[in-house]
Amino acid sequence: MSLSSSSPSAPTPPERVHVGAVTALPDGSQTEVLVGGVPVVVVSYEGQYYALRNNCTHKDFPLLGGDVSMGRITCAKHGAKFELATGKAKTLPAVKAVQIFKTLVEDGEVYVLAL
């Protein structure tokens, strides 16, 4: 006879970082969290939460606080724009995509999932 676990098929939840309550992150707000030591900017935009590495791929300037419009965040240093949903660089001087992270809302709380 073999031993069996009480929950043999329970998936291992991915590591996640708590960002804050939905009520504390209204549309248009931004904040920063550390995910595995990596700074990540979380943007609340049109009812969705987006998480991108908080480093512009041009010269490493933080994206936090950059203007957000048309689904893009603008680096305040030289004006590169990155698509929130994909991290793709949409305007020069940046050409490389910025790393993105998944977000999750559960019980009114926002989380970023570690990759």
Residue 113 is a binding residue for ligand FES (CB under 6 A):
no
Please name which of 12, 15, 18 lies closest in space to residue 108, comparing C-alpha atoms: 18
Distance (Å) of CA 58 to CA 63, 95, 101: 11, 7, 19
Residue in 20, 65, 71, 93 binding ligand FES, rule: CB under 6 A: 93
Q: From the list 17, 35, 44, 58, which residue makes contact with ligand FES (rule: CB under 6 A)? A: 58
Number of Cβ atoms within 10 Å of the Cβ of 97:
16
Shortest spacing between CB 40 and ligand FES, in angstroms: 16
Selected binder of ligand FES within 59, 85, 95, 96 (CB under 6 A): 59
Under the criterion CB under 6 A, does residue 64 sit at the interface with ligand FES? no
Alpha carbon distance 63, 36 (integer Å): 18
Output the smallest distance, CB 62 to ligand FES, in A. 9
User: Quick one: which of 21, 29, 23, 15 has its CA closest to 115?
Assistant: 15
| Footprint of ligand FES (CB under 6 A) | 56, 58-59, 61, 75, 77-80, 93-94
